[in-house]
Structure 1
């Protein structure tokens, strides 16, 4: 019997590492990422503009809207993100009682009351958001693969998302909640706006790496990884330097209160470190998604944020009384652990093995699709025979 042909012919299909190939990969990654950056940043700016206007109305308005937004993200948007469910009705009922729930959690009554009013106006946004999430799901041909990859991906995203929102809620427990919540919400807004840039690079990396692995080209996948790391590293360093240079004035974009602007300037160095670490993990998380490591990413996020980050937040913010700076520093500790962990996972990856597994998944999906097509043909033939 003739020797069976290998599943992936690496020697014939892969590419050599050259400067020209690397430059072309940088161009291709940029071409994929740029439209995503424009779209995602533009979409998020729709949420930033109300925060800017509320910030200029006063600390109470800004802190109340921030608390309401964090509460709605934790109890609604994050759950619908990545994997749609039919819980929007339950969430809308829950948001009606936002003020009472926040007071029960120990938040300032004046902030909780205003946050409750803001949350009620967020209820209508749940339904189109849920519809949008359901429109981007293609789950009918490979339902098993969907649950195997989508659920860990959703958990991976939510664990990180909840950790950031949690510090906004915790900031309302300090003696001066309006100031602390206002400043941290400004930092969170800037971080999130910037996050969409490395996140888009990560999405581009996910696309390029998954495509190359599926084509049986592990060397090309590694080139794609190197290209996106160079692009992201350059961007986060430039963004951090720029933010540090304008640290004394950029707070005025959100508030005219001198104490808010001064506090923002003091916390900006920590914010710059956060941007670098968060940008690094955003790209590596995209690599994890493209390589099918969603479950590993979920475990990393769980350990980084809830075994390291949140305890550090409590220690620095409440035990050592560093307040808002302590909360954000604790979060930076969690993000640093996350970035290091994902870097180790990526560095020790056997890309040849990943290419073989990716090809096997593709062939399995094609076979499942063919089987379903054959079943539909059999049903049609059976119906024709019954009519005869």
Structure 2
């Protein structure tokens, strides 16, 4: 029965944590729905699905780093070691940037053949080759936000970060995607570029919060 004690504190962290993830993932799924409204929806939806699947596969690496740093930061703060927590954040940021650069180079290198893994239609393969360049940028930024989200969860900032995700993706990302795709007629690539604007806002806010963190104070808060 001890597992059911203090459930209110558990849900105060669990619900915002779920919102942090859901708000971001739902925004990417929205891109596929919007692609069906573009001219030549069969092509656009196919390519958006391929690129989204590619982005999700690549995201698993920084997502794992984010889960690791979340546990490490919370353990270090709970043990009263703010210096170790700060060092762990610096190390994981180095790995996130390195991973983003390496995977970006790999994506650019295979961009002309990657589409063949999903389709033999030359139109699809050519379009995917163009979109992969955008995915490389998206993956780099998404990797940084993933590890910073892990830091946020480790520090107990779930409510703040859920609000950041809400604003970044639904006040900036999706409106920018709609503007580029349907008003400026950039097409499916415009949808991805728009969501990158949302990720960029998210990353900048997470970086600002992390840089302004007083780690010694966080020890006492935790």
Q: Same fold (TM over 0.5)?
A: yes
User: What is the CA-CA distance between 1:139 and the residue it aligns to?
Assistant: 5.8
Cα distance in structure 1, aligned partners of 2:176 and 2:39: 20
Does the 8 Å CA contact 1:139/1:146 hold for their aligned counterparts? no
Aligned to 1:249: 113
Cα distance in structure 2, aligned partners of 1:205 and 1:182: 35
Does the 8 Å CA contact 1:278/1:335 hold for their aligned counterparts? yes
| Gapped regions of structure 1 (runs ≥ 5) | 1-137, 359-388
User: What is the CA-CA distance between 1:332 and the residue it aligns to?
Assistant: 0.6
Aligned to 1:352: 216
* Paired residue secondary structure (1:190): helix
* Paired residue secondary structure (2:150): helix
User: What is the CA-CA distance between 1:191 and the residue it aligns to?
Assistant: 0.5
Establish whether residue 169 from structure 1 lines up as the match of residue 56 from structure 2: no
Equivalent pairs counted in the alignment come to: 221
Aligned to 1:314: 178
Aligned to 1:226: 90
Cα distance in structure 1, aligned partners of 2:138 and 2:98: 15
| Gapped regions of structure 2 (runs ≥ 5) | none
Moved over 2 A (4+): none
Q: What does the per-residue CA deviation read over 1:148-180, in whole Å, with 9 as the maximum and x for residues that have no partner?
A: 101111111111011000000110111211100
Establish whether residue 341 from structure 1 lines up as the match of residue 209 from structure 2: no
Match of 1:216 among 67, 75, 80: 80
Establish whether residue 299 from structure 1 lines up as the match of residue 199 from structure 2: no
Query: What RMSD, in angstroms, separates the aligned Cα atoms of the two structures?
Result: 1.0
Aligned to 1:179: 43
Aligned to 1:238: 102
Cα distance in structure 1, aligned partners of 2:118 and 2:3: 42
Which is richer in helix?
A: 2
Establish whether residue 150 from structure 1 lines up as the match of residue 14 from structure 2: yes
* Paired residue secondary structure (2:4): coil
Superposition pairs of residues 54-69 of structure 1, within 5 angstroms: none
Cα distance in structure 2, aligned partners of 1:238 and 1:139: 43
Q: Relative contact order, CA 8 A, sep 6+: which one is greater?
A: 2
Q: What does the per-residue CA deviation read over 1:2-27, in whole Å, with 9 as the maximum and x for residues that have no partner?
A: xxxxxxxxxxxxxxxxxxxxxxxxxx
Aligned to 1:287: 151
Aligned to 1:330: 194
TM-score, L = length of structure 1:
0.56
Aligned to 1:51: none
Cα distance in structure 2, aligned partners of 1:202 and 1:225: 10
Cα distance in structure 2, aligned partners of 1:299 and 1:345: 13
TM-score, L = length of structure 2:
0.97
